[in-house]
Copies of this chain bind each other. A is one copy, B any other.
Amino acid sequence: MKINMSYGSGGVQTSNLIHDIFLKHFNNSILNRLEDSAVLNVSGKIAYTTDSFVVTPMFFKGGDIGKLAVCGTVNDLTMMGAIPKYLTCGFILEEGTEIETVERIAESMARAAKEAKVKIVAGDTKVIEGKGGVYINTSGIGEIAVNGVSVSACKEGDAILLSGNLGEHHAAIMSERMGIQNEISSDCAPLTGILNKFIKEGIKVHFMRDVTRGGLATILNEITDSSNCGVEIEETALPISNEIRGFCDILGLDPLYMANEGKMIAVVPGKQAEKALEAMRSSVYGKNAAIIGRITEGKSVTMKTTLQGTRRIDVLYGEGLPRIC
């Protein structure tokens, strides 16, 4: 069975899709009410964000568009020091999409939401002409657990930590598209576990950001753009697997500009660097964490290279890899 325009009509077929697939998998008492909006009890400061997902192919080693749509928004909330609580989900389905595909995506979203401890509380479905593509928007609400996490809180002397190996999501998507056989799997994952470890260990985190489109290089430039600081990282400290190194060598890619979907940087006071590193490493998705550099004076992003040279790191120009998330 395939999606046709009547599944976006708001009538019987839309209702069937909602009941047979979305309610079945996302099942929770708030969503099940099927009102125009979810009604939630929240208290105090919340984080609120949105992200759309257009990744192609929709299914890849280590994940799929559904898992990505949950983890991406969960991570955006986490990076603001918030514990993610609720998501909304807007599907735009192209005509011709197999209903089985929609269900496979919904199942994957439900699994990811369960791991990330979030509820999908509201949704919407539209159908457009096309050839079986799926686009997903998620928005999310989290309760702020750590106040003042902001790029403007970065200070000279702070340490910069990276939670694990660079480039994996990017390389996995590229491998799928090019038909390259390898063991590289997307790192797509929720990162709230790392925030929870920071809270438990009393780490006073100044800034966090997940490494996605634009890669590590672009994030580090955002720090210098939005604070009055510079950034210095060390090439030898960057965690990169041998598989990714080989992949990059062959294809002429630079891991600094490659997207991850389950990695983050954290900027913490210099004297808490080792403790923060331990906290990261004790988390499921932080086993390969490393201290990769520090916040400096000045306004530039530089890298001490393996050969002890200094390389200036710029923001991404042009397109790294289209539709990577």
A320 B11 Cβ-Cβ under 8 A: yes
What B residues does A236 contact at CB under 8 A? none
User: Chain copies in the assembly?
Assistant: 2
Are A88's CB and B151's CB within 8 A? no
What sequence of 0s and 1s flags, for each residue 1-20 of chain A, a beta carbon within 8 Å of any chain B beta carbon? 00011101111111100000
A183 interface residue per 8 A CB criterion: no
Instruction: Given the known inter-chain contacts A79-B37, A139-B50, please indicate yes or no for A10 contacting B218, CB distance below 8 A.
Output: yes
Question: Which range holds the interface residue count of chain A?
Answer: 35 or more
Asked if B92 and A34 sit within 8 Å, CB to CB, the answer is: no
For residue A306, CB closer than 8 A to chain B, the reply is no
Q: Which of A274-282, A296-304, A310-318 contacts B (4 or more CB under 8 A)?
A: A310-318
The answer to the question of A203 belonging to the interface, with a C-beta cut-off of 8 Å to chain B, is no
Q: Which residues of B contact A142 (CB under 8 A)?
A: 37
State whether the Cβ of A108 lies closer than 8 Å to any Cβ in chain B. Answer: no
Chain A residues within CB distance 8 Å of chain B = 4-6, 8-15, 33-54, 75-77, 79-80, 82, 86, 88-92, 121-128, 133, 135, 137, 139-142, 144, 150-151, 209-210, 212-214, 218, 226, 259, 315-320, 322-323
A-B contacts besides A11-B214, A128-B135, 10 pairs, CB < 8 Å: A8-B54, A10-B320, A11-B213, A11-B315, A11-B319, A14-B214, A33-B150, A37-B76, A39-B45, A128-B133
30 residue pairs of the A-B complex, CB under 8 angstroms, read: A8-B213, A9-B214, A9-B316, A10-B214, A11-B214, A11-B319, A11-B320, A36-B49, A36-B79, A37-B48, A37-B76, A37-B82, A39-B45, A39-B47, A39-B80, A41-B44, A41-B45, A41-B46, A49-B122, A50-B123, A50-B137, A51-B90, A52-B91, A53-B126, A90-B137, A90-B139, A92-B92, A124-B137, A128-B135, A128-B323
